[in-house]
Amino acid sequence: MLSYFLGNSELSRGGTRMEKSQIEFRNVSFRYHDDAPWVLKNVSFTIDADEWVAIIGHNGSGKSTIAKLMNGLLFPQEGEIYVSGQKVNPDTIWEIREQVGMVFQNPDNQFVGTTVRDDVAFGMENHGMSRELMVERISESLEAVGMEAYERQEPHRLSGGQKQRVAIASVLAVSPKYIILDEATAMLDPKGRKEIMQTIRDVQSKRNLALITITHDLQEVTQADRVIVMNQGKVWMQGSPREIFSRKEQLIEIGLDTPFVSKLADELLNAGLSLSREPLNHQELLEELWTLHSTK
Closest of 34, 37, 99, 93 to residue 62, by C-alpha: 37
- Looking at beta carbons only, is 23 or 116 nearer to Mg ion? 23
Strand order in the sheet with 234-239: 100-103, 178-182, 210-214, 52-57, 226-231, 234-239
- Looking at beta carbons only, is 181 or 265 nearer to Mg ion? 181
Binding status of residue 64 toward Mg ion by CB under 5 A: yes
Going residue by residue from 56 to 75, which x/- string records binding to ligand ATP, judged by CB under 6 A? -x-xxxxxxx----------
Residue 57 contact, options Mg ion, ligand ATP, none, Cβ 5-8 Å cut-off depending on partner type:
ligand ATP
- Looking at beta carbons only, is 62 or 241 nearer to ligand ATP? 62
Rounded Cα distance, 30 and 50, in Å: 27
Binding status of residue 222 toward ligand ATP by CB under 6 A: no
Residue 85 contact, options ligand ATP, Mg ion, none, Cβ 5-8 Å cut-off depending on partner type:
none
Total of residues contacting ligand ATP (CB under 6 A)? 10
Minimum Å gap between C-beta 263 and Mg ion is 25
Binding status of residue 39 toward ligand ATP by CB under 6 A: yes
Total of residues contacting Mg ion (CB under 5 A)? 2
Rounded Cα distance, 261 and 106, in Å: 30
> 3-state class of 33 per DSSP?
coil
DSSP string of 202-271? HHHHHTT-EEEEE-S-HHHHTTSSEEEEEETTEEEEEE-HHHHHT-HHHHHHTT----HHHHHHHHHHHT
- Looking at beta carbons only, is 62 or 259 nearer to ligand ATP? 62
Per CB under 6 A, residues contacting ligand ATP are 32, 39, 57, 59-65
Per CB under 5 A, residues contacting Mg ion are 63-64
